[in-house]
Amino acid sequence: MRLGALVLQKEPWVQARDTWRQVERAGFDIGYVADHLTHSTVAGQWWADGWTTLAAAAEATSTLGIGTLVGSAAIRGPAFVARVAATLQDISGGRFVLGLGAGTAPDVLVDRGEVVGAEVLAERYREVVLAIRALWAGETMWRGQHVAVEGVAPAALAPGSPAPPLVLAAHARAGFDLVAEQADGWNTYGGPKAAGLATDDLWSVLATQADRVSQACERVGRDPASLRRSVLLGYGADRPLSSVAAFEDAVGRAARSGFDEVVVYWPMGQEGSPLWADPDVVVAAVAAVRT
């Protein structure tokens, strides 16, 4: 089981550098950042750019994977994403994972003053994914309804560097189909409605989603086992880092549901706040599932 930590970018780099090194020392396989322009949980607070942070994290660590969980197709164009992902792959020596999702309407409003619905976000998401694949394949022109890449573009990958793995976030049928068709991996946190669910109910939702992703693979003639599967835990009521036993239980449930990566939020805030956890428990929990 791969273990990941989502390190939300709330610290200035002078502090965050040590945080990323702690993640590596704790035994995680990969550290992720988020990609929001705005969020209710960071109003009025410092919120660093995730892509830039990953470049610094690549230099601050030596073996830790780095990635986005997830980059936003709502506010990022395919030419930008393809180029910055390839750059991070080069800087990190092949340790980068491109996680990508549809993004959120509030970010679009902040970015360009537009009010968009879920259908538009989903359509743009598909087009961004297809355009990124085209750019990595060496194509220089691609056009859809919402995004376009035109003209002679520079090489999309550094010499001798493979494209990074593409992990797509999805929680419903259209997204599952996109995953089956285009992704190297799939990530879910259960979706917005899962945030308030108790542990057993959350895992019921996650197991159902995993089955539907497998069905989507079968519809397009793909072996479901060829898809890496990642689950982000701790977003809602479930607290996988409350104890070593809770983390071991979460990893066991993930394995039984077909996931091969468990991602948790790196502890932050004060004791009693939603994303707080005892750092000693985190280190002990990772060690426990490694034995």
pLDDT over threshold 60, residue 152 = no
Q: CA 228 to CA 98: how far, in whole Å?
A: 13
CA 20 – CA 26 distance, rounded (Å): 10
% pLDDT > 70, the chain: 98
CATH: 3.30.465.10, 1.10.10.10, 3.20.20.30, 3.30.70.3040. Which one for 2-225+241-276?
3.20.20.30
Q: What confidence category does residue 220 fall into, taking pLDDT thresholds of 50, 70 and 90?
A: very high
* Strand blocks (E) in the chain: 2-6, 30-33, 65-68, 71-72, 96-101, 142-143, 148-149, 166-169, 185-188, 228-233, 261-265
CB 54 within 8 A of CB 84: no
Q: How far apart are CA 184 and CA 67, in angstroms?
A: 14
Write the pLDDT tens digit of every residue in 183-201: 999 999 999 888 889 999 9
What's the pTM value of the predicted model, to 2 decimals? 0.94
Tell me how long the chain is: 291
Average pLDDT over residues 66-82: 94
Q: Grade residue 156 by pLDDT with cuts at 50, 70 and 90.
A: confident
Q: Please, which pLDDT band fits residue 153 given cuts at 50, 70 and 90?
A: low
Cα dist from 178 to 68, 225, 247, 260, 276, whole Å: 18, 16, 30, 20, 34
pLDDT band at 75 (very low <50, low <70, confident <90, very high): very high
pLDDT at 63: 97
Confidence of residue 128 (pLDDT cuts 50, 70, 90): very high
Please indicate whether residue 268 or residue 255 has the higher confidence score (pLDDT).
255
227-263, pLDDT tens digit by residue? 999 999 998 888 999 999 999 999 999 999 999 999 9
3-class state of residue 229 by DSSP: strand
